Amino acid sequence: MRLKVVIQFIRLMGVSLGFSILIGQTGVSANRQQSVHNNNVGFSVAAEIPKNQIHKQNSFFDLKMASGQQQTLRTVIYNVTNKDIKVRTAIHTAYTNTNGTIEYINPAKSYDQSLKYRVSDLATIQGERTITIPAEGSKTVAIKVKLPKQPVNGVLLGGWYFKRVDDKVTGVTEKSINVKNEYSYVIGLKLSSGKLPISNLCLGPVKAGLNNYHRSIIVALRNPVARIIPNLKIRTVIINKRHQKVIIKNTKTGVMMAPNTVFKAPMPLGSQQLQPGDYQLQMTVNNQRHHWRFKRDFHISMTAAQKYNHESIDNKGVSMWMLIGIGAISMLVLGLGLGVIVWLWRRQRRSKD
């Protein structure tokens, strides 16, 4: 388990993800960056804003549409390098990730049961998904968006994703670990139709689990309506019902709930072991306009406690960071040792001469 975590960390350290995300009313947009000439991205993107744009100042697609409406959207990809490049495109459905931010780049593994229509299903890429952009040139790409004929009240949220594709890996390849650079942009797709529903949040399952290999209690906070609920402050207390003792206190601010999404909020236990038994969660959620209060009793089984305590990297004696530190120190010592050996060998040769 420790080796797996270390290898994963090394891979992540070797990957740099360049993207242009500007926070707006939907939480995301993208525009053409003049500074692209000064970095390694090599390309930029710019949306061609249509007439039914709600807020003209937004550089992402912020559209008012009617049920059954079809519309073609276009984006220009600019290549600022002196050679041809390839860019791959995709459409993603937005959701709230475990950090409490709206995610447009990485597709979700699952979606909330309240989500009827995914942007990734309503928007179709026209032509090839991978496009060659000529050196110091540009190319316009298009998607066709079609809303369902049934009434859609609220906001459908997603992202038009652009990723540069290299023909070969740049960097070092050693023992099946590829070190490469990845650069991407995303343009937000906010499709509004009908009447905006009233904000609402509800509490989903509460259970023990792992978050990034750390034992945690994971709370599912759901937004079952088709609107963005922004800037939430979430205060959580978890109590051991048998001992009436608080085992976790957690406060998280700035949470953005995407439409029809679930925020699986991890509550790390740190050095505490998961203990089987009965617990109670008390949670308050609020922003400037709304306030919610939740209470939920839940149970942690002996099987779950043993499983996640065993698989966690907490309190293992040697942590992931310690292993990485030991590896770095070992390389330094090895380098110094080799340097001393070479110095002694050269000194011995001089004395013989």
Cα 2 to the center of its chain, rounded Å: 23
Host H or E run for residue 77: strand 70-79
**Both structure tokens of 7:** 């290898």
What fold does the segment set 16-193 form as a domain? Answer: Immunoglobulin-like (2.60.40)
Q: Along the 353 residues of the chain, how does pLDDT read in single tens digits?
A: 444 444 443 333 333 333 333 333 333 444 333 333 344 688 999 999 999 999 999 999 999 999 999 999 999 999 999 999 999 999 999 999 999 999 999 999 999 999 999 999 999 999 999 999 999 999 999 999 999 999 999 999 999 999 999 765 444 444 444 455 677 899 999 999 999 999 999 999 999 999 989 999 999 999 999 999 999 999 999 999 999 999 999 999 999 999 999 999 999 998 889 999 999 999 999 999 999 999 999 999 999 999 999 999 986 654 445 556 656 776 777 777 676 676 666 666 666 66
Per-residue model confidence (pLDDT) at position 332 = 74
Per-residue model confidence (pLDDT) at position 61 = 98
Per-residue model confidence (pLDDT) at position 271 = 86
In the chain, ranges of CATH 2.60.40.10 domains: 16-193, 202-311
Per-residue model confidence (pLDDT) at position 303 = 95
Per-residue model confidence (pLDDT) at position 34 = 35
Helix axes 2-13, 320-352, angle to 10 degrees: 80
- What DSSP line would sit under 119-132, residue for residue? HHHHEEEES-SEEE
For domain 202-311, the CATH class is mainly beta
Instruction: Yes or no: say if 222 and 114 are a contact pair by the CB < 8 Å rule.
Output: yes
pTM of the model: 0.76
Q: Of the candidates 132, 190, 201, which has an alpha carbon nearest to the alpha carbon of residue 158?
A: 190
| Distance separating alpha carbons of residues 321 and 157, to the nearest angstrom | 37
Task: Looking at 36-124, list the stretches that DSSP marks H as alpha helix, in order from N- to C-terminal side.
Answer: 119-122
What is the torsion angle, in degrees rounded to the nearest 10, for the CA atoms of residue 226, residue 162, residue 70 and residue 138? Answer: 150
Cα 208 to the center of its chain, rounded Å: 22
| Distance separating alpha carbons of residues 70 and 198, to the nearest angstrom | 27
Per-residue model confidence (pLDDT) at position 286 = 97
- Count of residues in the chain: 353
Tabulate helix, strand, coil % of the chain (nearest 5): 20, 45, 40
Q: Of the candidates 198, 163, 166, 193, which has an alpha carbon nearest to the alpha carbon of residue 20?
A: 163
| Distance separating alpha carbons of residues 187 and 94, to the nearest angstrom | 11
